[in-house]
Amino acid sequence: MISIKTNCSRLAEMRIRQGLTRNDLATKIGITRSFMATIEKGTTKPGPATAKKIVEALNVPYDCIFSIVEGG
């Protein structure tokens, strides 16, 4: 099984650096603010499509925020 690990502090840092609120980023990628908050806090793991949308919206490399973990 493969899962996605989120570097939560890096995600928040990249979002804030770009002057985006959680709501701004969530709206930009088509999810709710509360779902964005759970991803950023590490209580929810995003699916591959959502992770891809996040890095594209922030214009950062995938491995800047996410990593693939096998067996997780």
Phi-psi bin for 71: left (phi > 0), alpha (psi -120 to 50), beta? left
Q: Structural domain of residue 6, as residue ranges?
A: 2-70
pLDDT band at 69 (very low <50, low <70, confident <90, very high): confident
pTM: 0.91
Nearest to residue 16, comparing CAs of 45, 36, 31?
36
Is the pLDDT at 47 greater than 80, yes or no?
A: yes
Question: How many domains are there within the chain?
Answer: 1
Q: What is the CATH number of the domain that holds 52?
A: 1.10.260.40
Q: pLDDT digits over 7-31, tens only?
A: 999 999 999 999 999 999 999 999 9
pLDDT recorded at residue 72: 57
pLDDT recorded at residue 10: 96
Residues 36-47: b if buried by 16+ CB within 10 A, e if exposed = beebbeeeebbe
